[in-house]
A = this chain, B = another copy of it.
Amino acid sequence: MMAVQDKNKAVVLLSGGLDSATVLAIAAQQYDCIALSFDYHQRHAAELDAARALARRHACEHRIIRLDAGVLAGSALTDADIEVPEHGGDGIPVTYVPARNTVFLAHALAVAEVAQASDIFIGVNAVDYSGYPDCRPAFIEAFQRMANLATRAAVEGQLIRLHTPLIELSKADIIRLGVGLGVDYAQTVSCYQADAEGRACGVCDSCRFRQAGFKQAGVADPTRYRTS
């Protein structure tokens, strides 16, 4: 096994949910990871506790970046006045957070350049997802292209690679992959309105994709649900 100091560094966006926990497990096989989480005044701040536990498990550096209140606004996830719906319905749902992945990846790019990392991992998925525009392959490709025009590192030849290992996987595939890598999904919080202890509602979009994924994967669902 390679010693930690021989690995290249990578920045991994870690929300604390099922997808990003799997991505961290994938990235940690090959890279010395800096996990990056964001406190953006999200309704489901319990995911940050989950992120802390996941980063600790991988013994990787973990930074929680606090975004100014009101930056990621106008969403059911950040505005207490907008209710999290039980069914997504048509189109892009109210849980969409304006420009969230752009803001997250911009921070990841800044951290990567200072840490001399050329690799950024993000757990976007374009199969079992909520239809957010900034989860699509075309967005990721355009961000990478922009990033490689943005930095001194890129000008000097150290190009950025965005890794999206889950992008074409179903939720069940992601779970099977993660179980194989030893991910403890009991540590993860996916629910859009998890309570302070990280217990899930069981009815939001994110809970429904997760439940269906465990069922299809034939893996026992370790999620703690709150009894309503």
Contacts and interface: CB of A to CB of B under 8 A. Distances in A.
Interface of A: 63, 65-68, 70-74, 92, 96, 98-103, 105-107, 109-111, 113-114, 133-134, 136, 138-139, 142-143, 145-147, 149-155
A151 B111 contact: no
Given A133-B155, A139-B146, 15 more contacts: A63-B70, A65-B71, A66-B68, A71-B107, A72-B110, A74-B114, A98-B109, A98-B113, A98-B152, A99-B109, A102-B146, A136-B149, A139-B150, A142-B146, A142-B149
B152 A92 contact: yes
Nearest to A113: B98
A224 to B, nearest CB: 30
Contacts of A66: 68
A73 B115 CA distance: 10
Contacts of A151: 98-99, 133-134
A100 to B, nearest CB: 8
14 contacts: A65-B71, A71-B110, A72-B110, A74-B113, A98-B113, A99-B106, A99-B113, A102-B106, A133-B151, A133-B154, A133-B155, A139-B146, A139-B150, A143-B146
Given A142-B146, A146-B145, A111 B152 contact: no
A66 to B, nearest CB: 5
